[in-house]
Amino acid sequence: MTSETTSAPNFIRNQISEEIEAGRQGKIVTRFPPEPNGFLHIGHAKSICLNFGLAEQFGGDCHLRFDDTNPAKEEQAYIDAIKEDVSWLGYEWAGDVRFASDYFETLYEWAQHLIREGKAYVDDLSPEEMREYRGTLTEAGTPSPYRERSVEENLNLLERMRVGEFAEGEKVLRAKIDMAAPNINLRDPILYRIRHASHHQTGDTWKIYPSYDFTHGQSDALEGVTHSVCTLEFEDHRPLYEWFLDNLPVPAKPRQIEFARLNLNYTLTSKRKLKLLVDENIVDGWDDPRLPTLSGMRRRGYTPASIRKFCEMIGVTRADGGLVDIAMLYHAIRSDLEDNAPRAMCVLKPLKVVLTNVAEDFAETYRVAGHPAREDMGVREIPFGREIYIDRDDFMEEPPKKFFRLAPGKEVRLRNSYVIRCDEVIKDEAGEVSELRCSVDFDTLGKNPEGRKVKGVIHWVSAAQAVPMEVRLYDNLFTVEQPDKDKDADFLEHLNPESLTVVQAMGEPSLADAAPESRFQFERVGYFCADRHACRDGTLVFNRTVGLKDGWAKAQKKG
Ligand code: ATP
Ligand code: MG
């Protein structure tokens, strides 16, 4: 890897390190707890790298646990995709994949336990009434008229809720804590809701499902999680998390620690909004390379190492509000591919050039390093002949002063080959340049022409052996830094109509059998990845991962 300091502050790592040094902490256990209601995105990567990273650094375990309490929105397909993404990032969960639904029976017993202790009751208020009774930030709530039901009645009603005797919304089970608590989460929070839905793990066993709050901490406790790391929006839930641990016969007492979530500019990190883009066919599925999903980033050409490096660079703090510059993510992948991607020449906008002083049957081949600094990447063979393609952008009929590429009467070097001069410009009926006639200076292979300065070097491919391919060029999916900043506006208004451009390109022969997901630097152009779907079917399609210019590194240097 291109070396540079990558450590950013990580207060959770520091804290655990201190606990261990002081002898206050044995083996640590963390967990990554996704809800299987969508694909993972770059925000989740921050949480994955943090949780799995901590376990790795301190010789502990990290569990993968699906927080599957909402059957209506969850699917097996999401479970499979999430497992694949976590593995792809390079992490191994300890033991089997776990599910909160594995604990439904225990949670139910614990609900009965709370009822027996006089700490939970079945409520018949409608959702609207419940909202009214809850009070506000400045006013205490009002106790529900059902709050004083007897233990027997509550146990009986809960059992009947469980087997489906009541309709959805007719009753809920609530904790009996404090309707005047300043923290609204403690005003008799809901423990169970009635849902007549089939669950991907438990089938039709349950007609009631536990709430997130009643599930999460207890699942942590059952698994022996020591540090329950979550994002800041759960800070206000911590007193409730602790209330359950204090009032239930749990086998362990995990600690909840909150950190600031990742927000990236030009990027949406909300599963719900990403799902909308997918469902409305605005993008090409969950792994569209324009999406910040891990599977989209994978298809685009990101490496697991680059994502892990990015997560290390952004650090972990409690301070919220910051918007991370996506240029930093581009920097992370660029520096990985700079060191690890083989080079190739590919012309994105082919313009035919006939080299008039090269014979029809002239053929030679250059042996060129696969990577300038990596002998292990071997050599590739680049054929040369009378007809070649160069990029349209490397030619200008009326060039400005500092244009050092090809122009009428001007010279340029073909990378790894000769210096050529443009003698003639041929146009089609519409007046578009359709071909160039150039001549080769045969004295210039591997050396500079005597007495003449040729500043420009351009890439090219030999027309006879060039491989045609589709190249997909991606730009940000949104035109503004925070597409969902205004909660009342439609984030779709900020979609970038030019987020995808498809071109028919010509590549050097070494690209002909690029394996799906293999990555290259197309010299002078950028980094590209063979599409994992198309290339499997034998069609050559490359996705642009990122361009060559590193805006982030440049900004760092300027300070
Ligand atoms: P979304 O808002 O995209 O639906 P979520 O929090 O509802 O995300 P979960 O599946 O519950 O999705 O998330 C699993 C874990 O990932 C949680 O611990 C959550 O805090 C964390 N996480 C989600 N988004 C981010 C983010 N942007 N930055 C850091 N961690 C995140
Ligand atoms: Mg969540």
Q: Is 113 annotated as a binding residue?
A: no
Residue 141 clears pLDDT 50, i.e. is over it: yes
The alpha carbon of 279 is separated from its chain's Cα centroid by a whole number of angstroms, namely 18
Confidence class for position 2, pLDDT limits 50, 70, 90: very low
Tell me whether strands 120-123 and 172-175 are parallel, antiparallel or unpaired.
antiparallel
Q: Give 544 Cα–ligand 1 centroid separation in angstroms.
A: 28
Which of 39, 64, 68, 231 best tests ligand 1's pocket when mutated (most atoms within 8 Å of CB)?
Answer: 231
Active-site residue set: 35, 261, 271
Ligand 1 atom with the shortest distance to the CA of 41? 3
* Spatial contact of 172 and 122, defined as CB atoms under 8 Å apart: yes
516 in a labelled binding site: no
Ligand 1 pocket test, candidate residues 12, 37, 47, 229, most atoms within 8 A of CB: 47
Q: What is the DSSP letter of 532?
A: T
Q: How many alpha carbons fall within 13 Å on the CB side of residue 203?
A: 2
Residue 176's contacts (CB-CB under 8 Å, 6 or more residues apart) are 114, 118, 119, 120, 121, 147, 188
Tell me how far the alpha carbon of residue 413 is from its chain's centroid. 40
**How far does the chain reach from its first CA to its final CA, in angstroms?**
22
The pLDDT tens digits of the residues spanning 231-283 come to 999 999 999 999 999 999 999 999 999 999 999 999 999 999 999 999 999 99
Q: Is 546 exposed, middle or buried (0-12, 13-18, 19+ CB in 10 A)?
A: buried
Residue-wise pLDDT tens digits, 416-468: 999 999 999 999 999 999 999 999 999 999 888 888 889 999 999 999 999 99
- Would you say the CB of residue 47 lies under 6 angstroms from ligand 1? yes
Q: Is the CB of 36 under 6 A from ligand 1?
A: no
- Return phi, psi of residue 142, to 5°: -115, 135
* pLDDT reading at 374 higher than 60: yes
The 8-class DSSP code of residue 283 comes to S
CB distance 441 to 421 below 8 Å: yes
Q: How far, CA to CA in Å, does 25 sit from each of 28, 153, 313?
A: 7, 44, 27
Q: How far is the CA of 308 from the centre of ligand 1 (A)?
A: 17
Q: Which residue has the tokens 């950190």?
A: 259
Confidence (pLDDT) at 1: 39
Q: What is the pLDDT of residue 6?
A: 56
Ligand nearest to the backbone CA of 261: 1
pLDDT in tens, 27-79: 999 999 999 999 999 999 999 999 999 999 999 999 999 999 999 999 999 99
Which atom of ligand 1 is found nearest the CA of 37?
Answer: 10
pLDDT tens, residue by residue, 66-107: 999 999 999 999 999 999 999 999 999 999 999 999 999 999
Under 8 Å CB-to-CB from 5, ≥6 apart: which residues? none
Q: Does residue 34 line the site of ligand 1, with CB under 6 A?
A: yes
pLDDT at 505: 98
Whether 76 is in the pocket of ligand 1, judged by its Cβ within 6 Å, is: no
**Is the distance from CB of 305 to CB of 336 less than 8 angstroms?**
yes
Amino acid, single-letter form, for residue 157: L
137 — alpha (psi -120 to 50), left (phi > 0) or beta?
alpha
Nearest residue (by CA) to ligand 1, atom 4, is: 271
231 lines ligand 1 (CB under 6 A): yes
How many angstroms is it from 510 CA to the middle of ligand 2?
46
Is residue 554 over pLDDT 90?
no
Sheet with 190-194: list strands edge to edge: 120-123, 172-175, 190-194, 208-210
Cα gap 187→174, rounded to integer Å:
9
Per-residue H/E/C for 294-315: HHHHHHHCCCHHHHHHHHHHHC
CA distance 423 to 437: 6
Percent of the chain exceeding pLDDT 90 equals 92
Compute the chain's Rg from CA coordinates.
31
> What DSSP character marks residue 277?
H
| Ligand of minimum distance to the alpha carbon of 235 | 1
- Classify residue 94 as exposed, middle or buried by CB count within 10 Å of its CB (0-12, 13-18, 19+): middle
CA 444, CA 388: separation in Å to the nearest integer?
A: 17
SS (H, E, C) 123-168: ECCCHHHHHHHHCCCCCCCCCCCCCCCCHHHHHHHHHHHHCCCCCC
Q: What is the pLDDT of residue 3?
A: 41
- Residue 513, marked binder: no
Q: Which residues does residue 503 pair with via DSSP β-bridges, in sequence order?
A: 471
Amino acid in position 524 = R
The verdict on whether residue 114 carries a ligand-binding annotation is no
Ligand found nearest the CA of 74: 1
If you take atom 23 of ligand 1, which residue's CA is the nearest one? 44
Which of 77, 80, 79 shows the shortest CA–CA distance to 68? Answer: 79
Q: What is the pLDDT of residue 552?
A: 83
With a 6 Å cutoff on the Cβ, whether 51 touches ligand 1 is no
Q: What is the Cα–Cα distance from 82 to 76, expressed in whole angstroms? A: 10
Q: Is residue 496's pLDDT more than 50?
A: yes
Q: What is the DSSP letter of 497?
A: T
| Whether residue 311 has pLDDT greater than 70 | yes
**Known binder of ligand: residue 231?**
yes
Q: How many CA atoms lie within 13 A of 337 on its CB side?
A: 31
- Ligand 1 pocket member 35 (CB < 6 A): yes
Domains of the chain: 11-259 (3.40.50.620), 271-340+469-507+513-558 (2.40.240.10), 345-466 (2.40.240.10)
Q: Report d(CA 529, CA 519) in Å as an integer.
A: 4
CA of 35 to the centre of ligand 2 (A): 6
pLDDT (mean) for 526-540? 93
